[in-house]
Structure 1
Amino acid sequence: MTRVSFGDLAQSQLLRRSSSAAETRLARLAAELASGKRSDLATATGGDFKLLAGIERSLGLLKSHTATAREAALAGGAIQVSLEQVQSVVETAANNFAIAGTNGAAQAVRITASGADQQLAAVVAALNVNVGERYLFSGIATDQRAVGGAEEMLSSLIAATTGTSTASGLQSAVRDWFDAPPGGGGFLDVVYGGSPDAGGGFPISPGVGATFAVTGADPCLRRSLEGLAMAVLLDRGILDQDDAARSQVLAAASETLMSAGQGIAELRGRIGTVEAAIDSALIRNDAEVSALEMARGRIVSADPYDTASALEEARNQLEAIYALTARLSNLSLLEFLR
């Protein structure tokens, strides 16, 4: 029988290669056990990365949409809080103006009108809410304040009502100023600093956007400022010699504010509908992300039990190679002849 044997050098090289391969496999399995992920994705995917790439792309898009949806939810919440503040001021002022205007007493009108300054300033502050460097009532011009200062508004209104001597004349002049189109020298030119177009939509899920169609130029918000501004004009001395006309103006301001309050309630309802859509999108996005992460996990995750078993097998194999190497290293002629 022909015997085939290896020389010492060849045998040494064979053991070294076997040892290196066993060590590499041991290190790979240890890393997989620690990370929970397979290191050889080519084998895990069968060489076809299209499915895994598609899952990763979808996850990236969904997570991006989720971040945008959270931003939209924050903006919607801030808009609701601001509108609630405006509505509270408007309803309180409307009731107070109605009582004083109906009473007709000059002192009651004067005292009630004296508090309108602060109420107007509160509404202006609420409409200039800023979240994440975005003015929420400025339409697409989110870097601009929605409403300028109250004093700037009143200065322009005083100029527009100069010479007015009747309650109806004052009401018409103030209404015309607030409703003047761009270029007419009214509210849109002097005070409103935003864009006439509502802000761009937030992409909250694939193919779905959320838009808060509200600006500081919304009619109900203009009516809110209008009603309060009329009372402030009375406090600034307009129609100071005609107590009856001042009472009429305050009563008209109350009616304007009541109308504005109804409009704000409807506006808040529309914003609430958008908020509900955002909440639904967030739930849907989270569910889809969970499903995709599970699908990805089935591809890239290493089974801990199988990995631990393979790791133990690799360790035993490496120990066997080390033992064999040690035995061969101790061979001598005397041992061989025995």
Structure 2
Amino acid sequence: MNSVSLGDLAQAQFLRRSSAASEQRLARLTEELSTGRRADLAAASGGDYKMLSGIERSLGILASYKTATDEAALIGTGVQTALATVQGLSEDAGNTFVSAGTLGTGAVVDSAAATARQQLDAAVSALNANIGDRYLFSGAATDQKPLAGSDAILSALRTATAGLTGASDTLTAIRDWFDAPAGGGGFRDLAYGGTDAAGGPFPIGEGEGASFRVTAASPEIRRAIEGLALGALVAEGMLAGDTTGRAQVLRHAGETLLSTGTKLSELRGQVGSVEAAIETAATRNQAEATALEIARSRIVAADPYETASALEAARGQLELIYTMTARLSNMSLLEYLR
């Protein structure tokens, strides 16, 4: 019976090819075990990438929504904090001004108005809050500071009331200055640096956006600034010598601030509704992303037990090839004759 055997060169080439294939398989299995993902996605998806690419696309979109909801939530917190500061200042100063204006004595009025400038500074600073180079109360002009400083506001009000000697005329002129439309030489031209239009909405979901429709020119905020500015003007000596008139201005400032406190609460409630919508969208998006990640994992995830078993088998096969190669390399005529 004739027998067929492989020559030494053929055996060496065969072992070399087997060794290379085993090393590649070992490297692939090692990668799968360390990453938890199958290296051959074509085999994992059955040659159809449509579902996997659809999942990846959806996850990418949800990641962009997460960035938007995170930013929107941060902006909402900043807006709420600023409004809370302005509301607190309005309520504290309002009570003090009304009480002092009702008593009407010069010393009490001067004492009550003494801290109004600091309170105005604090309110303006809160409304000029900026997060990530984005001003919160400038409307669509998020790169513009919403309010000029207290000095500029008080200077414009002194100009608007120059020559007026009565409390009633002074209060009317100041109210007209705060309510003047753009181009009228009032608050919108000399103190407000933003726009009336709200900033573009944050895309927080499919066909869903969230925006905070509050600016430093909103009526509630203008009234708060007006009340505090009136107190600061009284402290600076407005209507000097007219104790009754000064008391009337301070009482009016206090009443304006107290009514504004209630309106600011309503405004904060509106902002809170937007924040709730953002949180709901973020929760829904996270749930959807989790479901998609599970679906993707079922396609691309490598089973750790099966991978470890296959890796051990590949390692044993490679060791066997190395052993056979070593034996073949050590063969000689002397060994053969023995």
Preserved CA contact (<8 Å) 1:32 1:39 = yes
Structure 2: segments with no counterpart, 5+ residues: none
Could you tell me which residue of structure 2 aligns to residue 300 of structure 1?
Answer: 300
Q: Greater CA deviation, 131-140 or 327-336?
A: 327-336
Could you tell me which residue of structure 1 aligns to residue 11 of structure 2?
Answer: 11
Q: Find the residue that maps to 2:81 and give its secondary structure.
A: helix
> How far apart in 1 are the matches of 2:237 and 2:306?
88
Q: Offset of 1:316 from its aligned partner?
A: 2.2
Q: Offset of 1:321 from its aligned partner?
A: 2.4
- 2:24 is equivalent to residue 24 of structure 1: yes
> How far apart in 1 are the matches of 2:336 and 2:121?
105
Q: Offset of 1:16 from its aligned partner?
A: 1.6
Could you tell me which residue of structure 2 aligns to residue 233 of structure 1?
Answer: 233
> How far apart in 1 are the matches of 2:56 and 2:139?
35
Could you tell me which residue of structure 2 aligns to residue 205 of structure 1?
Answer: 205
- State the one-letter code of the partner of 2:37: K
Kindly provide the CA deviation profile for residues 184-233 of structure 1, in whole angstroms up to 9, marking residues without a partner as x. Answer: 00000001011111111111233221101110000010001111122222
> How far apart in 2 are the matches of 1:232 and 1:15?
94
Kindly provide the CA deviation profile for residues 298-338 of structure 1, in whole angstroms up to 9, marking residues without a partner as x. Answer: 11111111111111221222233233334444555677688
CA RMSD of aligned residues (A): 1.8
> How far apart in 1 are the matches of 2:169 and 2:276?
44
Could you tell me which residue of structure 2 aligns to residue 131 of structure 1?
Answer: 131
Q: Offset of 1:238 from its aligned partner?
A: 2.3
Kindly provide the CA deviation profile for residues 248-281 of structure 1, in whole angstroms up to 9, marking residues without a partner as x. Answer: 2111111211221111111100111111112222
> How far apart in 1 are the matches of 2:5 and 2:200?
80
Preserved CA contact (<8 Å) 1:128 1:145 = yes
Please list, as runs of the form range in 1=range in 2, the aligned pairs for 1:181-330 lying within 5 A after superposition.
181-330=181-330
Could you tell me which residue of structure 2 aligns to residue 176 of structure 1?
Answer: 176
Q: Offset of 1:82 from its aligned partner?
A: 0.8
> How far apart in 1 are the matches of 2:256 and 2:199?
27
- 2:93 is equivalent to residue 93 of structure 1: yes
Relative to structure 1, the CA distance from residue 234 to residue 319 in structure 2 (aligned partners, 3 Å threshold; closer, same or farther) is closer
Kindly provide the CA deviation profile for residues 37-70 of structure 1, in whole angstroms up to 9, marking residues without a partner as x. Answer: 1111111111211211111111121112112211
> How far apart in 1 are the matches of 2:337 and 2:106?
131
Could you tell me which residue of structure 2 aligns to residue 109 of structure 1?
Answer: 109
- State the one-letter code of the partner of 1:162: A
Could you tell me which residue of structure 2 aligns to residue 51 of structure 1?
Answer: 51
Q: How many residue pairs are counted as aligned between the two chains?
A: 338
> How far apart in 1 are the matches of 2:76 and 2:176?
31
> How far apart in 2 are the matches of 1:228 and 1:336?
108
Relative to structure 1, the CA distance from residue 130 to residue 332 in structure 2 (aligned partners, 3 Å threshold; closer, same or farther) is closer
- State the one-letter code of the partner of 2:18: S
Q: Find the residue that maps to 2:209 and give its secondary structure.
A: strand
> How far apart in 2 are the matches of 1:33 and 1:231?
71
Preserved CA contact (<8 Å) 1:220 1:259 = no
> How far apart in 1 are the matches of 2:330 and 2:110?
113
Q: Offset of 1:2 from its aligned partner?
A: 4.8
- Using the size of structure 1 for normalisation, the TM-score is 0.94
Q: Find the residue that maps to 1:209 and give its secondary structure.
A: strand
Structure 1: segments with no counterpart, 5+ residues: none
Could you tell me which residue of structure 1 aligns to residue 160 of structure 2?
Answer: 160
Q: Find the residue that maps to 1:62 and give its secondary structure.
A: helix
Preserved CA contact (<8 Å) 1:100 1:108 = yes
Q: Offset of 1:169 from its aligned partner?
A: 1.0
Q: Find the residue that maps to 2:176 and give its secondary structure.
A: helix
Preserved CA contact (<8 Å) 1:140 1:195 = yes
Q: Offset of 1:138 from its aligned partner?
A: 0.7
Q: Offset of 1:285 from its aligned partner?
A: 2.0
> How far apart in 1 are the matches of 2:308 and 2:10?
33
> How far apart in 1 are the matches of 2:181 and 2:66?
39
> How far apart in 2 are the matches of 1:12 and 1:43?
31
Please list, as runs of the form range in 1=range in 2, the aligned pairs for 1:66-85 lying within 5 A after superposition.
66-85=66-85
> How far apart in 2 are the matches of 1:55 and 1:130?
37
Q: Greater CA deviation, 8-17 or 210-219?
A: 8-17
Relative to structure 1, the CA distance from residue 2 to residue 82 in structure 2 (aligned partners, 3 Å threshold; closer, same or farther) is same
Q: Find the residue that maps to 1:37 and give its secondary structure.
A: coil
Q: Find the residue that maps to 2:204 and give its secondary structure.
A: strand
- State the one-letter code of the partner of 2:179: D
- State the one-letter code of the partner of 1:223: R
- State the one-letter code of the partner of 2:256: T
